[in-house]
Structure 1
C-alpha cells in the first residue's frame, strides 16, 4: 500500500531543507558585487525598465532579482534530484545500476524501472545516449537472469511539467529508442494511483512557500549591494 501522505510530508521537508534553505544561503551572498558578471550594456537598461531610473538601489534590484527569482532557485531544484529520490521516494528506491526507482504502474499494472529527472528541459544531447545505454544494459541483464523486460518496462519519469513542454532531447528518447517519457501529473498518477496527487504535491510544497517570507532580509541585501563602489560610481556617472 502506497503511503501518499508520507510522500507529501517528505516532499515538503525535502523542499524546505534542500531547496529553500539553500536558496536563502545563496541569496545572502548577493550583497557582494563580486558575485555578479555585469553586462554594462544591459544593466542600466534593465534598471530603467524595472524602476524607471538609474539610482543605486534600482541597479542593485536589476542585478539581484533575476538571480533570486530565476537562476539560483532553478539550479538548486535541478541539482537536488538525487536527494529527492532518497528522501521523498525512498520506498521505491532501486538497487539496479542506472535506475533511480522501481514501482508497479498503477495504471497498466506493469513493473517500471525509472530514471528520474526534475523538469521538461533538464537533459542535454549526451544525456539521451547515457539513458538509452543504461536501459539497454538492463534489458540485456534481464535476459541473462531470465527476467523478461521490454521497452515498456523502462521509463524516464519527469517530476514536473506537461508533455507538450518536453524538450527535443526527451522526445528523442521516445522517438529514437522507444522508451516512454512520463511527465508531471501522469507520472505521479502512475506512481501513486491518485490522479490528483500531482496537484496535492504542489499544494504541499506551497505550504513551505507561505513560511518563506524573506522580503525584509532581501531588501537589506539589495540596500547593501547598492552601496558598492561600482554601483555608486555607475549611478553617479549616469545621473551627472
Structure 2
C-alpha cells in the first residue's frame, strides 16, 4: 500500500477562528443526534422481545429486588432494560461510529496518509500533528498498539526519504473523551515503549482548537441533544410490553 504524506503548504493557519470552533460544535451535535441518539432509540424499541436478552434467572431476580424491592414482571423488565439502554448499547454505538465522527465533525482536518485520521496544527506548540483518533481511554487492545506503532514508524521512515520533518513528537493518538489517569495500559505502552504521544479529552481539544474550555463546550453541546431525545414515555411503553411477555411473567412467579 502506498503511503502519502502531504506537505504543510496546504495546512490551515495556526489560529482557529470562533466561527470554526462553532462549526465543530454544530457538527458534533448533529453527528451525535444522527449516529448515536437515533440508533439508541431504535435499539431501545427492540427490547420488548425477551429474546434480546441472555437472561440469568438468578441474577435477574436479584437485580429486580435490588432495584425496586420486588420481583414482579415490571421490575424484572426494568432490571433487564436499564443496563442495556444506559450502558452497553449506547457505549458500543459510540465506539463503532468514531470513523463517522472523523468524517462528519473533523472533516476539515482529514488526512490522506495511511494510518492517520486527522492532521492539524497543534495550537500549543505550533507543529503539525499526524493523529490517529480513538473514542475513549479503554478502546484498544495489545495488537492495536503494535499496529499503531507500525503505522507511525512507516510514516517517519517515508518522511526521511521525502526530506520532510516528521518526528516522534509529531505523531500522536488523540482520544476524544476521558482523563489521562483513566488511560489503559495499552495506551500507556504507546508512550512508554514507543515514545509517541497520547493526548486525551480536554488536552486533545485544547491542542486542536486553542481553546482550553472547548472540551466542556463540546460536552454541553452534545448534552443538548438529550433534551430532544427524551424517551421517557416510550421507555415506559417498552418496559410494560416486555413485562407482559410470558417468559417474564413466568420468571416472576
Instruction: Determine if the TM-score, normalized by the shorter chain, exceeds 0.5.
Output: yes
Question: Secondary structure at 2:136's aligned position in 1?
Answer: coil
1:27 aligns with 2:37: no
Cα displacement string for residues 106-162 of structure 1 (whole angstroms, at most 9, x for unaligned residues): 000111000000001111111111110110111111112111211000000000001
- Residue of structure 1 in register with 2:72 after alignment: 55
Name which of 207, 211, 220 aligns with 1:190: 207
Pairwise CA distance, 1:206? 1.0
Taking the aligned partners of 1:39 and 1:156, their CA distance within structure 2 comes to 39
1:209 aligns to 2:234 (yes or no): no
Separation in 1, partners of 2:166, 2:28 = 31
Q: Distance in 2 between matches of 1:193 and 1:202?
A: 17
Cα shift readout 1:68-126 (whole Å, capped 9, x = no counterpart): 00000100101110000000000000000000000010000111000000001111111
- Separation in 1, partners of 2:119, 2:199: 14
Aligned to 2:166, the other structure's residue is in SS state coil
Cα shift at 1:65: 0.2
SS at 1:42 equivalent: helix
Secondary structure of the 2:58 match is coil
Residue 89 of structure 2 aligns to a residue whose secondary structure is helix
Structure 1, unpaired ranges of 5+: none
Q: Bigger shift: 9-18 or 202-211?
A: 202-211
Q: Aligned match of 2:126 in 102, 109, 123?
A: 109
Match of 2:153 in 1: 136
The SS at the match of 1:113 is strand
Paired residues for 1:112-131 under 5 Å:
112-131=129-148
Tell me the matched-pair count: 236
Cα distance in 2 for partners of 1:16, 1:116 equals 20
Q: Structure 2: state its 5+ residue gaps.
A: 1-14
For residue 230 of structure 1, report the CA deviation from its aligned partner. Answer: 1.0
2-side partners of 1:54 and 1:25: how far apart?
A: 27
Kept in 1: contact 2:31–2:105 (CA 8 A): yes
Q: Under a length normalisation based on structure 1, what TM-score does the superposition of the two structures give?
A: 0.97
Contact 2:57 2:251 in 1 (8 A): no
| Contact 2:32/2:225, CA 8 A, preserved across alignment | yes
67, 73, 76: which one aligns with 2:93 = 76
How many angstroms apart in 2 are the aligned matches of 1:183 and 1:76?
20
Q: Once the two structures are superposed, what CA deviation does each residue of 1:30-67 show, in whole Å capped at 9, x if it has no partner?
A: 11100000112201000000011110000000000000
Please tell me the root mean square deviation across aligned C-alpha atoms, in Å: 0.7
CA distance in 2, matches of 1:233, 1:211: 37
